């Protein structure tokens, strides 16, 4: 280039080359395709340095290219020494190597993009902090592991069909229960219940057959917990009467099958929402099904279901209890072991522990609000969950 070209006054100085972050996709010492300086990334479809990126962006944003004029027949050589001496030739080279004008954002779009990048960065930072916190949370102590073992064994021993319920379940139909999903759901005879709702005779008949063994399994679960057995007999009866429907509802809810949209009762009978409602449970069926749907994403294992049942069983707010503080301490022991076990499992569901506690609270509320809807079904079996419990609780 001539000496006259060296005297061209640049409109601005280049931005200094950043020595910070260099993308991993760049080869070592990769050069800018415009001026040959050290490249810092892929900008506007080309690998360039920070200086040429900024020059190209400003030229497009401020529409400066009509003001550029080369004094030397538009034949200037552009390199890292001469790039500031002729804006027209530099801009033409930017276009020649493939830099895309349509990718340059105006000020408003650029600010919006910067804001989005910052928001994504902050969101990623918070997620990383949550993950780090989750990994740092305490796990069960030796005593808590023993408590977890006892309650898990109690649940497994009293949980009908165990983990094989899907293979062993039968679907309720108008003619009883059968192996495959029925085509004639809802075709059974219907009678009017005292409250004015409709009751499916066949479903009602089948439910009354399984209610007593289901209650017995809840009682047997409680009897396998030393903390429960050490309580006064009257308190045991009150706790069981209060939790029986809740635990049976939970056991059904965790056996919700999204594919067939059924719950499996007592590990053996798969029913639809409508069948459960028309079988005598009325609006309670909606609460149980809704719980099943919401819990399906939690993928609870046997230990988590067992700990949930223990927390529900040992509820110190049941009316008439005499050992309230003792029961509170027992429940707190299970809650703490449960929380630490959740930490140990490291679930991928965000805020798993508080969300699960909210499900339990919701189950409390719905079961207490709607429990009366199940009394007809339970009385058909000769009493309430508490009837003859003294005899049932006696050591065998």
Buried b (16+ CB within 10 A) or exposed e, 99-120: beeeebeeeeeeeeeeeeeeee
270 contacts 257 by C-beta, under 8 angstroms: yes
Confidence (pLDDT) at 198: 57
pLDDT at 27 over 80: no
**Closest C-alpha to 251, from 209, 304, 206:** 304
Answer yes or no: is pLDDT of 380 > 50. no
Choose among 61, 51, 50, 66: nearest CA to 13: 51
Query: For residues 297 and 53, which has the higher predicted lDDT (pLDDT)?
Result: 53
Residue 107 C-alpha from the chain's centroid: 39
pLDDT in the model for residue 203: 63
Per the structure block, which two tokens stand in for 234?
Answer: 């009257």
| Tokens found for residue 328 | 């509170």
Mean pLDDT of 3-16: 40
| C-beta of residue 249 within 8 angstroms of C-beta of residue 367 | yes
How far apart (Å, rounded) are the C-alpha atoms in residues 59 and 65? 6
CA distances, 184 to each of 131, 137, 210 (Å): 49, 51, 22
Between 367 and 325, the more confident residue is: 325
The DSSP call for residue 232 is -
393 close to 247: Cβ distance less than 8 angstroms:
no
What are the tens digits of pLDDT across the range 325-337? Answer: 999 999 999 999 9
Segment among 71-75, 114-118, 199-203 with least mean pLDDT: 199-203
pLDDT band at 125 (very low <50, low <70, confident <90, very high): confident
Residue 152 neighbours by CB under 8 Å, 6+ apart: 302, 303, 306
pLDDT of res. 368: 57
Residue 382 pLDDT more than 80?
no
Distance, first Cα to last Cα, the chain: 106
Whether the CB-CB separation of 97 and 33 falls below 8 Å is answered with: yes
* 8 A C-beta contact, residue 273 and residue 200: no
- Please give the structure tokens belonging to residue 115: 């804001």
Q: Which of 172, 356, 151 is nearest to 264 (CA)?
A: 172
Mean pLDDT, to the nearest integer, of 87-96? 96
Band of pLDDT at residue 166, cut at 50, 70 and 90 = low
Distance CA 336, CA 223 (A): 21
- Model confidence, pTM: 0.58
Region of residue 63 (phi > 0: left; psi between -120 and 50: alpha; otherwise: beta) = left
Find the mean pLDDT for residues 282-306: 84
pLDDT computed for residue 273 by the predictor: 82
- Virtual CA dihedral for 229, 231, 233, 237, nearest 10 degrees? -90
Positive or negative: CA dihedral 115, 116, 120, 126 = positive
pLDDT band at 289 (very low <50, low <70, confident <90, very high): confident
Tens digits of residue pLDDT in 294-304 = 888 888 899 99
The pLDDT assigned to 264 comes to 78
Residue 369 — φ and ψ, nearest 5°? -70, -30
Q: Where are the alpha helices (DSSP H) in the chain?
A: 3-6, 50-61, 87-96, 107-136, 142-158, 165-168, 201-223, 226-229, 233-253, 273-276, 284-295, 302-313, 324-345, 352-370, 375-379, 389-393
Cβ burial, residue 391 (10 Å; 0-12/13-18/19+): exposed
Question: What confidence tier does 136 reach under pLDDT thresholds 50, 70, 90?
Answer: low
């Amino acid at each position: 280039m001539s000496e006259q070209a060296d005297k061209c006054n640049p409109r601005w100085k280049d931005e200094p080359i950043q020595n910070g972050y260099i993308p991993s996709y760049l080869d070592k010492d990769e050069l800018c395709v415009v001026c040959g300086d050290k490249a810092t990334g892929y900008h506007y479809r080309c690998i360039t340095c920070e200086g040429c990126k900024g020059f190209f962006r400003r030229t497009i944003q401020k529409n400066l290219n009509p003001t550029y004029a080369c004094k030397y027949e538009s034949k200037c050589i552009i390199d890292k020494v001469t790039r500031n001496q002729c804006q027209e030739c530099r801009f033409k080279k930017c276009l020649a190597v493939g830099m895309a004008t349509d990718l340059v954002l105006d000020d408003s779009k650029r600010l919006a993009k910067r804001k989005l990048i910052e928001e994504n960065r902050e969101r990623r930072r918070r997620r990383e902090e949550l993950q780090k916190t989750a990994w740092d949370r305490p796990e069960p102590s030796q005593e808590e592991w023993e408590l977890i073992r006892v309650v898990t064994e109690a649940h497994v021993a009293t949980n009908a069909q165990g983990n094989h319920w899907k293979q062993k379940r039968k679907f309720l139909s108008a003619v009883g229960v059968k192996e495959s999903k029925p085509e004639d759901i809802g075709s059974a005879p219907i009678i009017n219940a005292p409250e004015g709702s409709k009751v499916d005779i066949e479903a009602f008949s089948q439910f009354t057959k399984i209610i007593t063994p289901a209650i017995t399994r809840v009682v047997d679960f409680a009897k396998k917990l030393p903390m429960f057995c050490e309580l006064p007999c009257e308190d045991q009866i009150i706790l069981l009467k209060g939790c029986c429907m809740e635990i049976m509802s939970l056991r059904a809810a965790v056996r919700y099958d999204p594919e067939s949209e059924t719950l499996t009762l007592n590990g053996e009978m798969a029913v639809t929402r409508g069948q459960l409602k028309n079988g005598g449970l009325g609006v309670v069926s909606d609460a149980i099904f809704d719980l099943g749907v919401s819990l399906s994403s939690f993928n609870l294992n046997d230990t988590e279901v067992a700990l949930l049942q223990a927390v529900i069983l040992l509820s110190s707010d049941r009316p008439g209890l005499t050992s309230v503080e003792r029961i509170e301490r027992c429940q707190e022991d299970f809650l703490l072991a449960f929380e630490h076990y959740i930490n140990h499992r490291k679930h991928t569901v965000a805020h798993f522990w508080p969300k699960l506690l909210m499900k339990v609270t919701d189950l409390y509320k719905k079961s207490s609000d709607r429990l009366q809807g199940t009394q007809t079904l339970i009385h058909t079996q000769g009493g309430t969950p508490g009837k003859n419990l003294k005899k049932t609780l006696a050591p065998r």
